[in-house]
Amino acid sequence: MVAPLGLVDYAWTSSSDSRPYINTIMYRHNIRKRYGYLDRPLFDKKIKEFTYKVILSGKSGTGKTSTVAKLSGQEVSKLHRETPGIEQTTILWPCRLIGSKEPVIFKLKFCDAGEGCMARFNHILPTLKENADGVIFFFAMTDRSSFEDIPQQMSKVLGEQSSNIAKLVIATKLDQHGRSEVPQKELIEFEKQYNIPIIGVSNFNAGPVDPSHNALHTSAPILNCLCERLWYRDQQEAGHVV
Ligand SMILES: Nc1nc2c(ncn2[C@@H]2O[C@H](COP(=O)(O)OP(=O)(O)OP(=O)(O)O)[C@@H](O)[C@H]2O)c(=O)[nH]1
Ligand SMILES: [Mg+2]
């Protein structure tokens, strides 16, 4: 496993200190508010905000759109409808950076394009990549070919940008563990080879319906890890870390 970078306080999200901030981005009953790109939540205190563009890459059907729906606290569709162009979803995520008392807000602008439409229209990929701060590569645990495709996705998306963009890999369909086609050993080898963390996600329940499934606590580890990678990349660019 790729170790956390020690920049984000992962435990803060579930602590009582985070409550006023977390409550601001939620309606009652644990439902997340939706924000447009220009929207801003009203916190009691003025806190710093950092905006990042995060792009998604992975074979069609690996669960890119479903994962963004889960991370933004929206309902995940059981149906696969190819994303017809670039869809943008803004997620506001409060985080406490290690060494600072006050939290900051990460404004994550997720840009999701269907793999099929990207293959049909040449202009989609350059538009997607433009000014991207981070990329999440996707594969489904139930589809070995989507895991084997990741290096190709990397060269397609990163080109020479590879040194200055934050990277994360998400393995979807963890709920279908009986149908997994990628052994744990290969995931560990991948992380070692590329030094990129792989985080598993289940966008649905394996068992009985759990109303808290899409609640914040299941998204928090992924969002914290992504914010930490983005922050690290900024620190590297500023020459604060090597
Ligand atoms: N069981 C299970 N199904 C999932 C999961 N994530 C996504 N799916 C299903 O997989 C199918 C494809 O998901 P999408 O999110 O539409 O895939 P995509 O990567 O956005 O596909 P394109 O837009 O075509 O590139 C849908 O039927 C989802 O319901 C998961 O974690 N578990
Ligand atoms: Mg999609």
* 170: enclosing H helix or E strand: strand 166-172
Q: Name the pairing type of β-strands 86-95 and 104-113.
A: antiparallel
The protein residue whose alpha carbon is closest to atom 6 in ligand 1 is 63
Mention every residue, 6+ apart, whose C-beta is less than 8 A from residue 12. 18, 95, 96, 103
Provide the residue ranges of all domains of the chain, joining segments of one domain with +: 10-237
Residue 161 has pLDDT above 70, yes or no: no
Q: What distance in Å separates the CA atoms of residue 228 and residue 225, rounded to the nearest whole number?
A: 5
- The per-residue pLDDT for range 15-55, each reduced to its tens digit, is 999 988 888 888 766 677 888 777 777 777 788 999 999 99
**Which CATH number does 10-237 carry?**
3.40.50.300
115 lines ligand 1 (CB under 6 A): yes
Candidates 147, 237, 152; CA nearest to 198 is 147
Residue 216, pLDDT above cutoff 90: no
Instruction: Measure 76 CA to ligand 1 centroid, in angstroms.
Output: 9
Contact 171, 187 (CB under 8 A): yes
163 and 186 Cβ atoms separated by less than 8 Å: no
Residues with CB under 5 A from ligand 2 (ion): 64-65, 83, 114
Indicate the pTM of the whole model: 0.93
Q: Report which of residues 146 and 74 the model is more confident about.
A: 146
The pick from 80, 169, 173 for probing ligand 1's pocket by mutation, whose C-beta has the most ligand atoms within 8 angstroms, reads: 80
